[in-house]
Structure 1
Amino acid sequence: MDLTLISIILAVGMLAMLALGVWVSFTLIFIGGLGLILSENYQIGLLFSTSSWGASTSWSLTALPLFIWMGEILFRTRLSEDLFKGLSPWLSGVPGKLFHVNILSCGIFAAVSGSSAATAATIGRMTLPELKKQGYSERMAIGTLAGSGTLGLLIPPSIILIVYGVAAEVSIARLFIAGALPGLLLVSLFMGYTMIWGLLHKDELPQTKTEHISWNTRFKALKQLLPVMGLIGFVLGSIYGGITTPTEAAAIGVTGALIIAAVTGSLNVSSFMESLMGAVKSACMITFILIGAHFLTLAMGFLGIPKELAVWIGSMNLSPMELILYLTVFFVILGCFLDGISVVVLTVAVVLPMVDAAGIDLLWFGIFIVLVVEMSQITPPVGFNLFVIQALTGKNILYVARAALPFFLLIALAIALVTLFPEIVTYLPTTMSQR
């Protein structure tokens, strides 16, 4: 059978199964098996067992369930409440005032949860009612939450970076280091826009007289941030400093999270079991998707699709910049319908050969793909995070999409900046590897 026809059959079959709501992992396995049959290779059981073992026994993958568990433990503590109380005294005098709590709280929580949806839902439950009660613009409150919620995909330790590192065989520690500056760039862009908005829309901010907050009060409030900030600093610092591997740092993170939960009185048998089961479910889901993706990659290798696709793209004589532009549009469209992890594992096998052939650094590309997936999570009108916030607020999805639009454009600006200035991504990993 002609390779083009086989490719069309597999692509249509995959889209149809996903549209029908079939699990991503089952879809990948079925399409992989169909591909092997179409390539007249009937040793499906043997190949599936071999690829499954290879996909699930990588030592780097061990960090995945541990980081998820760390996030699950802290999710069940008073973390979000402490973040609000600790940041509020420092931000009440800044243009935009407490909107910045949304941004910074999401940035901090992202570093312990690694999940975009969990970040938006957890911080939103706590900040949105408080901002509404104090008379802040509801639309801007939703916008800052939608935009900042996506930081869970980028700020290390990011689950999606671990998945990409395993799939693309790129150092996870270097990916974590590479994600630091782009993450800070996004936080700076969000806060900068919020300050400008605050100066231009003073009528939509609380008009109550600003009370003077002493430095003593501010420093006392910082005490509530110390446990989680200390844990994040120690976990990431040990990776950046080359003291531990990501897997060892994840184990330290779990231990630290358990200690924080115990000290804050949030740790009991019920919360411990809930966090453990939540981590097991999430890790099993992601691992199952990785197994399916690995099997599909194997089937596509037998068919020769990645090679032919790379040759076809090469024949178009696209410059690296043109290739990046096309891939951006492709990932944004795909990310409207799938979560970030599914986007990565579905596309890495096909995309990486052409990216490699174009001479694009795979480390840089990992951060690029995460930024694009972040943007797709709030792409009007069907981004994944938009539905999370709609469920949280009860607002119309188009209202949430309009509120998130400025932050969608800010992420697009960040993508343009890291494309024009790739050193934003590569500087830290290069500098640290030279030490």
Structure 2
Amino acid sequence: MSEVAITTMLIVLLFLLLGSGVWIGLTLGGVAWIGMQLFSSRPAGDAMAVTVWGSASSWTLTALPLFIWMGEILFRTKLSESMFRGLAPWVSRLPGRLLHTNVIGCTIFAAVSGSSAATCATIGKMTLPELDRRGYPEDITIGSLAGAGTLGLLIPPSIIMIVYGVTADVSIARLFVAGIIPGVVLASLFSGYLAVWAVLNKKRIPVPGERMTFAQKLSESRHLIPVVVLIAAVLGSIYTGIATATEAAAVGVVGALVLSAVQGSLNWATFRDSLLGATRLYCMIALILAGAAFLTLSMGYIGLPRHLAEFVGSLGLSPFMLMVALAIFYIVLGCFLDGISMVVLTMGVILPTVQAAGFDLIWFGIFVVIVVEMAQITPPVGFNLFVLQGMTGKEITWIARVTMPFFFLMCGMVLLLWFVPQMATWMPSKM
């Protein structure tokens, strides 16, 4: 049987199992076992044991459950309420006024969360009721929250960057640094769109409230101090070289516990719920990573990466067209898989191709994160859409429709990253 036929059969089997509801990690591992058992000379059982153990025991991956736990702790504190009180006075005179709290709030919380869904849910619980009470339009409020919530993947610390760093064998600290400028630029694009929308739809924006003095604004800004201190502790320890990404994650957990205790929200129930929530989420991710690592090994023995690289090379695509093709590929894949599965499932096959094309792997990591962000707001498997559907009770198709402008802004961000690659490569080059 030819490699093309084998590959086609395994891909069909993969999607059949995924469509039937089998857990993603088990699907990846099962397809890998079948492929290796039937189409290679390497014993599948021995290979699976070694690969799964190697994936589960990676020291670099230790940062992942710690950052997840930190986000779970913060999810249960009064951080979101404090952020709204600190931000609202400063955006009240901008076009769109309090709509910007969605973008700025998500940008700030992304710097201490690492999860798109957690960012979207936490900020949404705080802003949606408040903006609705003040009369802001529901469509732009929910759409901007869905779009800005994806910043949880791009602005460090980012769970998806850790996963990419492990699978692509690149420095997680350098990936974190690379995400700062693109994250700020994308947040600025979101806010810019809200300002333009507000200018074109003046009648839909509520009249401003009572004007606050500069001193009053500064006084309200004191509520931002806890989150700023935590961001400085986590990211500062990485950028100054004091701590690795894993050690900084531990700093973040301790800081989140201290912050929760100071705010009076730390008790046994909160501690237990945050730890169990982080454990459940990490176990799911770890199973996916283990299955994907085994699938990558199996595909290597079958010869898929080499043949795919040869096929792409035979197409004669320019680097730009390769980038466009990969963006379309990930956007389509994102309609069926979550972000982590997309990364771990494709890296073993895609990396040889992008390396042969001369792409910088740090730059490519940021590119992948942005296109995975798009997958968070594309139906039917868009995690942010699911989160907002649960919070608002709206149809997922309606939420996807009001989020489309932010999807196109991310497409523009991909083009901007291509034409100005220094956005992702300049800061890591200084480390």
**TM, length-normalised to structure 1:** 0.97
1:101 alignment partner, SS class: helix
3-state SS, counterpart of residue 97 of structure 2: coil
| Superposed CA offset, 1:82-136 (max 9, x none) | 1111111111111110000111111111222211112112211221111111111
Question: Offset of 1:381 from its aligned partner?
Answer: 6.4
Instruction: Give unmatched runs, 5+ long, in structure 2.
Output: none
Q: CA deviation at 1:63?
A: 0.7
Partner in structure 2 of residue 426 of structure 1: 425
C-alpha distance after superposition, 1:184-241 (max 9, x if no partner): 011110111111112221100113x531201222112111111111111221111112
After superposition, where does 1:136-151 map in structure 2 within 5 Å?
136-151=136-151
> In the alignment, what sits opposite 2:182?
182
**Which aligned runs of 4 or more in structure 1 are off by greater than 2 angstroms?**
379-384, 396-399
Superposed CA deviations along residues 62-96 of structure 1, whole A, max 9, x for unmatched, are 11111111111111101111111111111111111
In structure 2, do the counterparts of structure 1 residues 251 and 381 end up closer, same or farther at CA, with 3 Å as the change threshold? closer
Q: Does 1:112 align with 2:112?
A: yes
Corresponding residue of 1:232: 231
- Whichever residue aligns with residue 370 of structure 2, its letter is L
Q: Work out the CA distance in 2 between the residues paired with 1:270 and 1:90.
A: 35
Contact kept, 8 Å, 1:380 with 1:405, in 2: the verdict is no
Q: 1:382 to 1:304 in 2, by over 3 A?
A: closer
- Aligned partners of 1:380 and 1:402 also within 8 Å: no
Equivalences for residues 313-352 of structure 1 within 5 A: 313-352=312-351
Aligned residue type for 2:200: L
Would you say the 8 A contact 2:338–2:382 is kept in 1?
no
* 8 Å CA contact 2:165, 2:172 repeated in 1: yes
Percent of residue pairs identical: 55
2:277 — aligned with what?
A: 278
Unaligned runs of 5+ in 1: none
Q: Distance in 2 between matches of 1:383 and 1:206?
A: 31
Task: State the match for 2:93 in structure 1.
Answer: 93
CA distance in 2, matches of 1:89, 1:5: 61
How many angstroms does 1:36 deviate by? 0.7
| Residue 399 of structure 1: how far off its partner (Å) | 2.2
Q: Secondary structure at the match of 1:282?
A: helix
Q: Is 2:274 aligned against 1:307?
A: no
- Secondary structure at 1:225's aligned position in 2? helix
CA contact 1:6–1:38 (8 Å) conserved in 2: no
Counting only pairs closer than 5 Å after superposition, residues 259-278 of structure 1 correspond to structure 2 as 259-278=258-277
CA shift, 1:380, in A, is: 5.5
Aligned-pair RMSD on alpha carbons? 1.3
Give the 3-state SS of the residue equivalent to 2:345 in structure 1: helix
Query: Using the alignment, how far apart are the partners of 1:383 and 1:59 within structure 2?
Result: 30
How many residue pairs match? The answer is: 431
The answer to whether the Cα contact below 8 Å between 2:40 and 2:302 also exists between their aligned partners in 1 is: no
Q: 389-398 vs 30-39, which deviates more? A: 389-398
Deviations 1:275-320 (A, max 9, x none): 1111111111111111111111111111111111111111111111
In 2, are the aligned partners of 1:177 and 1:429 still within 8 Å (CA)? yes
**What does 1:30-429 align with in structure 2 at a 5 Å threshold?**
30-41=30-41, 43-207=43-207, 210-379=209-378, 383-429=382-428
> Contact between 2:337 and 2:381, CA under 8 Å: does it hold in 1?
no
